Structure 1
């Protein structure tokens, strides 16, 4: 359907288009800020690109999931946050202890990178947020560096509780393959490969970028400081090597 014809047939939508255009232009002029994305809404607070007809049209006629993704599809240079990640982290602050900020910032960096890599797809951001939150969580819940089975189980239990069982296979694979050294090819329609790349961008401190814009990667790294996350991983790796010298990095795959 052509955008102009749609607006002619649905005059009430013109008002929404005007409101969205003014809102985007207004926020475009603001300094700093983070886009917030979650299961309920996406609120623009810093948009560097000019609003496009495609964006406005997508917002008007798109379903909830499309609206969640619209900002990403047209603006991949803004740092974003996640309401769902905030909700999930609130329940694990005691478990994470002094590593709370380190792991939270790691998750937010990976979330940003994965959303940007997925900019050409229509995806549900909650799926990325859930995979991000649980992907390394087993390190703390099981106090083990062989944490992937525990992380996948935590995600599975959460999805069952929330009635999202249809996401189970994809999210568990995202978690299980995120340290894979080579490309994941089995289900190209899944987010597994993009998630793997997003985690590697963060693990290399931005040395690997997979065609993401340099400024965007730098902005994400600055918005969510390392806070000792990689130092923690090195400490865990050393401890693992001492106790399991033949299997120092059990999460790695070819």
Structure 2
């Protein structure tokens, strides 16, 4: 394990998820595992053993607006949650946290390594590790074994379908050029 064991708990992530557990409801394990898989992929892409509070908060809130704002156009609501929890999470660089949330579905690369690895890590998870952005198959398997998908891709398909049927002219509002 070149970058340490799989991280399955972080106080910032746990505090945020506990705060919104009722809103997330039955999707809590699905989202929690997505958060930690992404956090681990990013940590490995960066070659780090530790997870900063900035990264932990970003992962905890990056898609949370789906539940709190009840929308698939969730980047702005999720960024607002980062602002709300930054103090208690002892975030060092809130503007960068906001950028990680707002740009994590950007289609083109970002020049900031922290933001770019966040974007790649989220994509690795959404693509079930088929696009690994430099991680080995073994690393992805190790992380998904510790943090199973729990219906994550079924959830994405359900929410995307629900949004597309209501907004056919704006099917995937979270993507940025």
Q: TM-score, normalised by structure 2?
A: 0.92
Q: CA-to-partner distance for each residue in 1:141-180, whole Å, 9 max, x for gaps?
A: 011101111000010111145553x521100100011111
Q: CA-to-partner distance for each residue in 1:192-227, whole Å, 9 max, x for gaps?
A: 001000000001000111111221111111111111
8 Å CA contact 1:131–1:171 kept in 2: the answer is yes
Uncovered stretches (5+) of structure 1, i.e. residues with no partner: 1-47, 49-74
Number of residue pairs aligned between Structure 1 and Structure 2: 176
1:205 match: secondary structure:
coil
Q: CA deviation at 1:77?
A: 5.7
Aligned to 1:246: 169
Query: Are 2:73 and 1:146 equivalent residues in the alignment?
Result: yes
Aligned residue runs from structure 1 range 1-254, under 5 A: 48=1, 75-76=2-3, 78-84=5-11, 85-119=13-47, 125-162=52-89, 164=91, 166-185=92-111, 188=112, 191-254=114-177
8 Å CA contact 2:38–2:125 kept in 1: the answer is yes
Q: CA-to-partner distance for each residue in 1:56-103, whole Å, 9 max, x for gaps?
A: xxxxxxxxxxxxxxxxxxx32631223222232222211110000000
Give 4+ residue runs of structure 1 displaced > 6 Å after superposition: none
8 Å CA contact 1:77–1:216 kept in 2: the answer is no
Q: Which has the larger radius of gyration?
A: 1
Q: TM-score, normalised by structure 1?
A: 0.65
Higher relative contact order (CA 8 A, sep 6+): 2
8 Å CA contact 2:53–2:89 kept in 1: the answer is no
Over the aligned positions, Cα root-mean-square deviation in angstroms equals 1.8
